[in-house]
Homo-oligomer: A and B are copies of this chain.
């Protein structure tokens, strides 16, 4: 992160909704998780493979996104375990952002 301290970051975020969004996403991979889950619910391992990230980072990111109310976790206690991650309503509203990014990417990158 390029913003000095956590407190200073919060200062910047107080007034600017864009900064808040950037802060909420935290890192590029959160966005890709959201993109995937908006498409359809996914299992842990599916995300793992789709994004090519370590279990550690994926776990941490998913945990953060849950705390933010952007994704939810649904567990079926079979054996082996079956866990599904879904986008929440709040998370689905990111669709507009994702769409804007998709349009931009297609056109300019």
Contact = CB atoms under 8 A, between A and B. Distances in A.
Contact of A25 (B1, B8, B16, B28): B28
Q: Give chain A's interface secondary structure class.
A: helix
A84 interface: no
A98 interface: yes
Interface in A81-109: 90, 93-94, 96-109
A47 B90 CA distance: 32
Contacts of A32: 12, 16, 18-19, 22
Contacts of A3: 28-29, 51-53
Given A2-B61, A21-B109, A53-B2, A96 B90 contact: no
